[in-house]
Amino acid sequence: MNTKQQTIQKAVSVSGVGLHTGVQATMTFLPAPPNHGYKFQRVDLPGQPIVDADVDNVVDLSRGTTLEQSGARVHTVEHTLAALVGLQLDNILIQLDGPEPPIMDGSSIRFVDALRDAGIEEQNAYRNYFEINEYVHYRNPEKDIEIAALPLNDYRLTVMVDYNSRVIASQHASLNDITQFSDEIAKCRTFVFLHELEMLYKQNLIKGGDLTNAIVIVDREVEEGELDHLAQLLNKPKVGVNRQEGILNNLELHYPNEMARHKLLDLVGDLALIGRPIKAQVLAARPGHAANVAFAKKIKKLIQKNAANQVPQYDPKQPPVMDINRVYQLLPHRYPFQLIDKIIALDANSVTGIKNVTMNEPFFPGHFPGNPVMPGVLQLEAMAHTGGILVLSTVPDPENYWPFLAGIDNCRFRRNVLPGDTIIFRCEFTSPMKRGIAKMNGRGYVNGQLVCEADMTASLVKKK
């Protein structure tokens, strides 16, 4: 799995009809800066609203995953998101001039091919993995669905499907290496049972459905008159049945277990809505979009819980997100006020920085001589420097801005900081940034113990 974040080198577009809305649309993938994540943009609507690929924005699960934010909807996002995850892309803006991504052939392969053609670009930011460290379980006893995540320093998925059908036996599919997604999973197409087709049409779904973008499984005997009716329904001159495999119109499967592989594809796409790449072994029995999303919500809640309670960890053997030279470029402070040595984690909402306290600090000779203690005001200053990096990360050209500390509230110092200590500062936005004003909570830890904390307000001002 990649260490650094990735985007694409240039914009690339695909066009086609949406599966459920039947609306022709062009979808354009654009490069995005570090920590941007996946965002859809409805360029056909007034104001061109943004819809974040976030599990909390899911509003409909009728045969697909639909997002809504600020009154803008995007239907059937799972195949698009699966392609991004499968290529280990982290930061993409997805512009749509319609309500739904093109269904293409019912898989993710056309998206994968387009993104590969655009070229993949490594970015100067580390991926913010969430590593599952406990057993996470979801169960729907009514539908006999189970999904579980187990601790693993990797990302692997196994899916089992069983439809009690004489045509499709119980099937399994596994993805043991995310780099295999493009070759082993991406071209596996969506599918539907024949008995579901007319019901879906009556529900005003699959308006863009076609025998070229879905596998239709024939799980019962079909009379010639019914085939004529199906042909009319699908706007085809004639349809037939591959009696051996039970597939409508003699379609050839890519794999005997293509249906299980497509369910794995859907699971990858739906779990992208967690908002962070995860490390886990995921096992799913008879999954569907509703279960996938419910499971994703459980993991997101776990992430939020850990973020609130977790003491940040520091492994000095790991390369930093920003070394002292990059920090020096972004922050205006110089000796003796250059107080942060490195940034070890940075995402859209939080930052973690390191301050190594040595006896050579210029303040020790005059601050409690003979009993050296780091001044609390300088601990707070170092915390503000860390928060300044977070605030600067919200703009594409941080070198052109000043991050000023504008307010301090609820400041507390819990214990002394001494020479030889390493302070780990973590700052996190407490509300969305508005008009250049950011509100953050900052905490400093030494050896896993809280030493200082404060709520801070920062102002981001463009240089003149």
Residues with a known catalytic role: 289, 367
- Alpha-carbon gap, residue 91 to 37, rounded angstroms: 4
Is residue 418 a contact partner of residue 373, using CB atoms and an 8 Å limit? yes
- Alpha-carbon gap, residue 319 to 24, rounded angstroms: 46
The count of other CB atoms within 10 Å of the CB of residue 124 is: 10
